[in-house]
Amino acid sequence: MAFETILGDFMLVRAVERSIQIISEAAKELPPELRSQEPDVPWQRIIGIGNFLRHEYYRINQNDIRSILAVHLPALRPAIIRLMARLDG
């Protein structure tokens, strides 16, 4: 789905924001020793975006959402896959 489609639909933007909040909360619940296995992941920023969306949601803009979707989530995915593989192994 194109970013313009997502960003142009109020419900989709809210769904994306909620999904980011869930990811943020999940990151916060990871034990520090697990997060330390992926030191290049900006864990505190991931955790912080959830607080930002909960308390300062009116300051989020379309460029922030676009950046999270296009840059940050794709970069996070391989780290999460590696962590899950370690836990399964």
Residue 23: predicted pLDDT: 97
Residue 37: predicted pLDDT: 96
For residue 15, the SS3 value is helix
User: Is 34 a residue whose pLDDT tops 80?
Assistant: yes
Q: Are 7 and 60 in contact (CB under 8 A)?
A: no
pLDDT of 50-82, one tens digit each?
999 999 988 988 889 999 999 999 999 999 999
What is the mean pLDDT of the segment spanning 22-28?
97
Residue 74: predicted pLDDT: 96
pTM here is 0.88
